[in-house]
Amino acid sequence: MMNNLQLSRTGAASLSPSPIVEINGQLKYKSDCMTPEYFARSPFTIELYGDRVRVDHFVPILPDANSAIQYSDRLVELGAAIAEGPGEWPNEFCPEDEPFPDDLAMYFISFVLPAGGILVLLAPHAPHDRLDRDRRASGDNAVPHIAIQVNDMHSAAQHWRQKGFIPLSAQPQDDGCLCQWFLRNWAGQVIELIRRQPGGQDTFSCQNIRGLRLSEVEQ
């Protein structure tokens, strides 16, 4: 996408800086990239663990729901469109399902950004819930997971295995529209491999979430 590209002095197109850095296997958002202004224009093709990947969705965590609402309002001012939520995930999104463990619930909003990428905003749904504890342990700039678009789920998983990532469930979650698989590396960093139907904007489905969220937090 042209708005992700910058022209160097020689006139050659190069990628804008990634909002993410890797530190000993863990991913962190750069502090100056944790803003609505940055994400509204962020590149989605970035370098990650030595690969050039296409990010499906970035997932920053905010301290609480009020912070997420303010952040959301600013993103909308900048041209983002709310795609999913806001609400308490997953029980307000999939109310017909068996209730989810309350400790694992989250405040959730997703956006389609002006350039077409997806941003998922998370916040603890209650003080000291699992996400709050994880955020306090990992810091304000934690990357709970990053979703990478893939075409062939099993060959992509094999590729990431060779980089030290281990799948968190025996098989990907696949509802026919979204196919998703979480993997974790030696440093505890989780990535999500995602294959979606063209044009889809969902970042979860009620069929997939239980297995995904449970595998993401499994120790």
| Binding site residues, Fe ion, CB under 5 A | 147, 192
Find where tokens 């491999």 sit: 193
Residue 93 burial class via C-beta count within 10 angstroms: exposed 0-12, middle 13-18, buried 19 and up: middle
Output the smallest distance, CB 24 to Fe ion, in A: 23
Residue nearest to Fe ion (CB): 147
Output the smallest distance, CB 192 to Fe ion, in A: 5
Residue among 6 and 116 whose Cβ is closer to Fe ion: 116
Output the smallest distance, CB 106 to Fe ion, in A: 11
3-state SS class at 76: helix
| DSSP codes joined into one string, 148-189 | EE-SSHHHHHHHHHHTT-EESSSS-EE-SSEEEEEEE-TT--
Output the smallest distance, CB 11 to Fe ion, in A: 37
- Strands 51-58, 81-89: pairing is unpaired
Residue among 75 and 178 whose Cβ is closer to Fe ion: 178
Residue among 105 and 147 whose Cβ is closer to Fe ion: 147
Residue among 62 and 147 whose Cβ is closer to Fe ion: 147
> Burial code of 113-149, b = ≥16 C-beta within 10 A, e = fewer?
bebebbbbbbbbbbeebbbbebbeebeebbbbbbbbb
Output the smallest distance, CB 146 to Fe ion, in A: 8
Residue among 33 and 122 whose Cβ is closer to Fe ion: 122
